[in-house]
Structure 1
Amino acid sequence: MRRLLTPVITALLLAGAAVPAAEADDLESPYTQAAAVVGPDGVPTERKMIVNSWRVTAGQYCIEIDPLVDVAEATVLVNSLQNGSATSRKNPGTCNRPNSVGVYVFAADGAYADHGYTIAVL
């Protein structure tokens, strides 16, 4: 009986210790301090040193960066994944979180748009 339970207990312990893919850094980007590819819903599909990400309202998003990265001293680049443009602002009031970046995405006509985007913190 003991021999039968040992592999089962080991498997349960290993399964409990696993980190879900959505919470782990899965973006290899050696020349950035933090980076992400974010979908229109505000959820990152890939990320590096991102604590949290969410959609505030149409075309407006917040990204909370790991405290090990000093956003105030960094250069932030954002890019829309669709036709249009994107811009950012460090530590905006809309995010209400320290070390965060507000991302604003626009359609080709200049209106806010729910488009995916990339962000790189250099």
Structure 2
Amino acid sequence: MRRSGPVVLAAAALTGALAVPAAAADPAPITSPYVQAAADVSPSGVLRRAKNIDWVRHIDRGRYCVNVGDQVNLAFSIVQVELPNSNRRSFSTAPNAVCGTNSVTVYTYDLNGSYVDNAFTVAVL
């Protein structure tokens, strides 16, 4: 009789690990009195520095979800995304079906319009 229990447990653990938002062990704080929320995110979706950011998910090549804290009301905010040291482009949308409520969806792409992973910063004003 073959035992598949360990294989199933390993597969479940791997699947769970892939679904977890990318985050640094302890992102450094961003201290800026003039923004409600801010994030400094690596190309792989790791949150490097943050203010009022709960998590970041790298959902696909060049696509990220940035979830802001409950104290931030995105409906009355301006969201600005920048790609430092890059000639690439980005755009973002406030709450939508891709990332859910209280999240900003960030897309990064090259000059040809193809999605590419890129570091970025987000400021919620």
> Would the TM-score normalized by the shorter structure come out above 0.5?
yes
> Rg bigger for which structure?
1
Give the structure 1 partner of residue 97 of structure 2: 93
Are residues 1:119 and 2:104 paired? no
Could you list the runs of 5+ residues in structure 1 that have no partner in the other structure? 1-20
The percent of aligned pairs where both chains have the same amino acid is 37
- Any runs of at least 4 consecutive aligned residues in structure 1 with deviations exceeding 3 A, and if so which? 21-25
Aligned to 2:48: 45
Aligned Cα RMSD in Å? 1.5
SS at match of 2:75: helix
Q: Which runs of 5 or more structure 2 residues have no equivalent in the other structure? A: 1-23
CA distance in 2, matches of 1:106, 1:78: 13
Q: Which residue of 1 aligns with 2:66?
A: 63
Shift of 1:40: 0.6
Count of equivalent residues? 101
* Residue identity matched to 1:107: D
Match of 2:105 among 81, 84, 102: 102
Q: Secondary structure at the match of 1:30?
A: coil
Judge conservation of contact 1:84–1:110 (CA < 8 Å) in 2. Answer: no
Q: TM-score, normalised by structure 2?
A: 0.75
Question: Shift of the alpha carbon at 1:118?
Answer: 0.6
